[in-house]
Each structure stands twice: as structure tokens, then as C-alpha cells.
Structure 1
Amino acid sequence: MSSKRERRQREIIARLSEQPGMRVGELSELLSVTTETIRRDLDDLTRQGLLNRTYGGAILTQGGEPALSQRHALLVAERTAIAQAAAPILAGANVLMIGSGATTVHVARRIAMEMSRITVITHSFGVATVLSFNPTITVLMTPGIYHSGEGAMHGAQTARFLQDYRADWAIIGASGLTPDGPSDALIEIAEVYAGMVRQAGRRMVVADASKFDKLFTASYARWSQIDTLVSDRAPKGPLAKALRGSGVEISIAKIL
């Protein structure tokens, strides 16, 4: 690799450290090179395991997930599209359980636009906030211990509360998706997700393609327990095989 390319790629890493989720056009303008050059650099850095490609850009590879406040600035186009694809699948439901996360907040916002006279049980303050814009939606907020990084409740009180309710659907995010199932970086939050899976008649995982083939600490379900995966790209390889084998319906969102 030329020293010029090395310097440029180091600059790309530095820029993404300061401003996560930058687009190709932004990087091209900042570094005064063509978009084709930036795409080649991003491909190189992705092969090195330093980046994850996104729709139109890239984010730094994380050892764990960043705080929810940071995740809200990432993958906005992908999450918006996933929400648009997920909401119609929920038509006819009366009671939903919604887990915490950036993608589920997008889904909740779409639910507030498209659904009415339903009850939503959640441990996420972000989910509750966006649902509040629709006065016909009743929101039940779980008790528990507040996790400031996730903006959500967890713990024994949360688990006991969920046991008293049943839902038509649980809508849950994930930090990683492998052939064994979805997993999360936060053990305490994954315990809440597992409780929602147990209490729902049907279960939906909403996660963008950057989560494919990544395993995190806490596995909260097997694919045999999940009915639908909504993502922005189709899984491939062993993950796709595991989903097919477990009968998981895959819905691919269209990014506009």
C-alpha cells in the first residue's frame, strides 16, 4: 500500500472516531479525493476488520456496542427502512412488547404513525417517548433498575412485571446475529429480551446487516423461537441456512 493511501486511510479512521457513521460523499469532500477512491479505501479497511460498511458509508468496528445516544446517529437510513418494513407486519395486533435499542425506537415511531388503539409494554424510555405522540396508544412502562447507557429498565422487578402480561408480538433488537440466534452486548438487557420472547405469541427481531455473523455475550433466544427477522439486507451463508431451517420469515427493507 502506498504511503499516500496509508495516510488517507488513517485519516478515515480518525474521522470516523470523531464522527461515527460518516457517508462516502462527506469523506470524499473532506479528503479531496473521488468517491470511488473512498469506496476502495473503505473496502480495504473492512477487509482488515477495522470498519463495517453501511448504506452509503461506514462505521468503526466496535468491541461492544456504543451507548444508545451514540447509536441513534448511526445507520439512520437502514433503521428507517427497517421500521417501514416492520410496521405493516404488526397490523391487527392489540398488545405489543418492545425492547430497547436504536432500531426499536425507529419501529416504535413508525407504529405511532400507523397503528392506533393498541397497548405497548416496554422497558425503554426512548420507545415510550416516541409512542406518546399518538394519544390512542396506551404505554405500560416496566419498573426496575435504570440502565443509563441503554435508557431502559432491567432487573428482577422488570422480569416479574413482564410475567403478568401476554403480547401478540415482541419486537426486539440485537447486537449480533449468528446461526445460533440473536445476542446482545448487555447481559442485563438481554434478560429482559428473553422475558419478552417468553411472553409473546410471535416474535420479531429488527436488526441491520452490520449485526450479521457477530456474537455477543448474552444469547437471548434461538432462531426456533423467532418468527420474523426484518433487516436491510438478506443474510448469507450459515446464518441464512439457520434461519431457513428454523422457519424464520425474512423481510428485507428497501432503503430509499
Structure 2
Amino acid sequence: MTAAKSRRQALILAELNGSPSLRIAELAARMQVSTETIRRDLDEMTGQGLLSRTYGGAVRTLSTEPNVTERHSLLVAERERIGRVAADLVKAGNVLMIGSGSTTVHTARRIAAITKNITVITHSFGVATVLAINPTIKILMLPGDYHATEGATVGVQTVTFLSSFYADFAILGASGLTGEGPTDALIEAGAVYAAMTQRAATTVIVADHSKFDRIFPARYAGWREIGHLVTDRPLSEGLSRSIVPKGVDVVVA
């Protein structure tokens, strides 16, 4: 592979980290190459399992998502806005369950800044770390197998431990949002999120627009189980038709 092709394909993957799908014409214009060159790149990368070709473009392969460290550098301003809005739902004395992910860490950081005397049950080391600046917040870490790329514990022990608790809110991220519900790339994490949803009085999904209409293996809840969806842009028409009738409070930050 030539150096130019290697750089171009690395840029294509970087673009997919921040956008749910890419169009061939847009990529060609951005990289100042022909559409045929981009088509060859996408075909080659599809063969390597790095992405999936669509009519006129490409999307990330099913179950492929950047690790949590990479996600922290994407759409930072949007995720901070989402975190501010979601944190306003939390009141003193609440018990929360917070899932892993980059947007949930932004939300937890805001919660630590404005809220006192709450209890947080989490499996995310990133969430626990940003909450720890507030000495009035009690943090309960869930046991389980440590998943390094997610920075969180998962597995049977994690899910079983959750069955002993109830919470006012579960605050969860998502790899994708479909008409059937939020989905996650990591099946093991999806099982933890499903358990949190079942043990909380209200579930809040925090997810930016790059998750719209993206599907991943683990659907961990249906929209009737979700109380609030906090995002940064109006929903796509298809998502709106599926979500709004289910009674979800959709808030655009």
C-alpha cells in the first residue's frame, strides 16, 4: 500500500468515528481525489472488515465502534451540552445508576459539579473518577470482569450484583439509536445496561446525533422503557416516528 493510500484510508476511518455514514462524493471532494479512487478504497476496506459499503457511500461495520478513549475526543462540545441538560434532572438524595461511555462521563462530570448528597452505582471507572471530586457523592463500584477498551466491568457478576439495588435514574449511553430502541456495540455492556434499566424508576439515554439510525448487536431496551432521550440535534424523521409515540421525553440540548 502506498503512503498516500494509507493516509487516505486512515482519514476515512477517522471520519467514520465522528459521522454515522459517509458519501463517496463528499469524501472525494474533501480528499481531492476522484470518486473512483474512493470507491476502490471503500471496497478494499470492506474486504478488510473495517467498514460496510452502502449505495453511494459507507458505514462502520456492525459491532465496530471506537474504544472509549478515542470516543472522548469526538463531538466534545455536543456531549458537554447533553451532559448539562441530563444532569439537571438529578436532585439531591437521588440514587443513580450510570453506564459506561464517553457521554455518560461528560454527564457525570456535570453532576459532580452541581449536585450534592447522591449515591451513584456504576461499572465505569471513568464515571467514578470524575464523580470523585465531589466528596458528598457516594460511589458504589460494581464487580465483574474488567473490559479494558470500555474502561468498565461487565459480566454475570456485574448483572447479578445490580439485582440487589433500585435507583431513581439510570443514565445510559448508546452506540446506536434505532426505531426499536437503543443499541450497543458491546454485547456484555448491553447486558449491564438492560439490568440497570430494569432496576431504575426512570431511564435517561444520553446520545449525540452520530448515533441516529445506527444499529449494533445489543438492543438493551425498548423505547417504552425509556423516560428521557437527551441529544444534540432534532431526531431524524424515521426515529421521531418511532420514539415520540412511545412517550419518550426527547430533549435537544
> What interval of TM-score do these two structures reach, taking the shorter chain for normalisation?
0.7 to 0.9
Amino acid at match of 1:235: L
Question: Which residue of 2 is the match for residue 66 of structure 1?
Answer: 66
Pairwise CA distance, 1:150: 0.3
CA distance in 1, matches of 2:190, 2:177: 13
Q: Is the 8 A contact 1:20 1:74 kept in 2?
A: no
Pairwise CA distance, 1:236: 2.1
Pairwise CA distance, 1:41: 3.8
Secondary structure of 1:134's aligned partner: coil
Secondary structure of 2:88's aligned partner: helix
Question: Which residue of 2 is the match for residue 108 of structure 1?
Answer: 108
Q: How does 1:1-256 map to 2 (within 5 A)?
A: 14-15=10-11, 17=13, 41=30, 48-50=56-58, 61-63=59-61, 64-92=64-92, 94-253=94-253
Question: Which residue of 2 is the match for residue 29 of structure 1?
Answer: none
Pairwise CA distance, 1:122: 0.1
CA distance in 2, matches of 1:227, 1:242: 14
Pairwise CA distance, 1:244: 1.1
CA distance in 2, matches of 1:174, 1:141: 20
Deviations 1:176-235 (A, max 9, x none): 001100000000000000000000000000000010001100100000000000000011
Deviations 1:80-106 (A, max 9, x none): 111011111223551000000000000
Deviations 1:29-63 (A, max 9, x none): xxxxxxxx99x749x9999434xxxxxxxxxx532
CA distance in 2, matches of 1:15, 1:159: 38
CA distance in 2, matches of 1:209, 1:12: 25
Pairwise CA distance, 1:19: 8.7
CA RMSD of aligned residues (A): 2.7
Amino acid at match of 1:49: G
Pairwise CA distance, 1:156: 1.1
The alignment of Structure 1 onto Structure 2 pairs a total of residues equal to 221
Which deviates the most, 172-181 or 12-21? 12-21
Amino acid at match of 2:57: G
CA distance in 2, matches of 1:102, 1:199: 22
Secondary structure of 2:117's aligned partner: coil
Change over 3 Å in CA distance of 1:213–1:20 after alignment to 2: closer
Change over 3 Å in CA distance of 1:66–1:163 after alignment to 2: same
Give TM-score scaled by structure 1 length.
Answer: 0.79
Amino acid at match of 2:60: Q
Deviations 1:92-149 (A, max 9, x none): 5510000000000000000000101100000000000000010110000000111011
CA distance in 2, matches of 1:208, 1:93: 28
CA distance in 2, matches of 1:49, 1:81: 30
Q: Is the 8 A contact 2:116 2:137 kept in 1?
A: yes
Structure 2: runs of 5+ lacking an equivalent: 19-25, 39-53
Q: Is the 8 A contact 2:17 2:65 kept in 1?
A: no
Identity %: 49
Secondary structure of 2:230's aligned partner: strand
Pairwise CA distance, 1:238: 2.0
Q: Is the 8 A contact 1:21 1:73 kept in 2?
A: no
Change over 3 Å in CA distance of 1:177–1:110 after alignment to 2: same
Q: Is the 8 A contact 2:178 2:214 kept in 1?
A: yes
Secondary structure of 1:74's aligned partner: coil
CA distance in 2, matches of 1:168, 1:117: 14
Give TM-score scaled by structure 2 length.
Answer: 0.80
Secondary structure of 1:69's aligned partner: helix
